[in-house]
Amino acid sequence: MYRQGDVLIAPLAESAVPDTAFDATSEPRDRRGRLVLALGEVTGHAHAVVGPGRLIRETDAFGPMLLHVPEGARVVHEEHAAISLPKGWYRVIRQREYVPGSVRIVAD
């Protein structure tokens, strides 16, 4: 399990990956060829994966998302140290905050 700022990347056993994920459409890469896990709107800073792999959006805009990196990968961000991910499947989770009556996503 890895954490970069407000994004948590938790390993997922291949047997626990939903069947639908294997042939689901992958999220498109950004124009720099990266898989963007979360984007800071104002700074444009992004938690992004560099290297081969696929990112699959499971539900709504704020995830969670599934990440598959068959050869391992690096997670980079402009303000956080990079993290090396061993090969495999991961669940990508955005940090949230409790608001009475609702829940909102954290912006770091």
Partner 1 sequence: MTEQTSWRAVAAATGPGDRARAEAGVRLAYQRAGLREPGRIVWARSPLEAVRLLSGGPAEDAEALPPTGPSVRDAVRTRPVAAERARLHTRLGPTGWSDHWRTAGADLWETTRPLVDRVRTGIVEALAPDDRKAETRIRLLLLDAVLGQHDAAWLSALDTASGLDGLTEVARTAGWWWPYENVAIITERPTQLHRDEAGRLDRGDGPALAYSDGFALHAWRGLPVPGEFLDSLDTLTPERIRNEENAELRRVMLEYYGYDRYLEKSGARPVHRDETGVLWRIELPGDEDAVMVEVVNSTPEPDGTSRTYWLRVPPTTRTAREGVAWTFGLSAEEYDPLRQT
Contact set for partner 1, span 10-69 (CB under 8 A): 10, 25, 27-32, 39-44, 61, 64
Q: Which amino acid is at 63?
A: G
Quick check: 36 and 44 in contact, CB under 8 A? no
The mark string for 84-103 relative to partner 1 (x by CB under 8 A, - otherwise) is ---------x-xxxxxxx--
**Residue number with CB closer to partner 1 (80 or 88):** 80
Secondary structure of 21-46 in HEC code, one letter for each residue:
HHCCCCCCCCCCCCEEEEECCCCCCE
Minimum distance, C-beta of residue 92 to partner 1, in the bound complex (Å): 10
Closest CA to 53 of 69, 41, 37, 65: 69
Binding site for partner 1 (CB under 8 A): 1-5, 8, 10, 25, 27-32, 39-44, 61, 64, 77, 79-83, 93, 95-101, 105-108
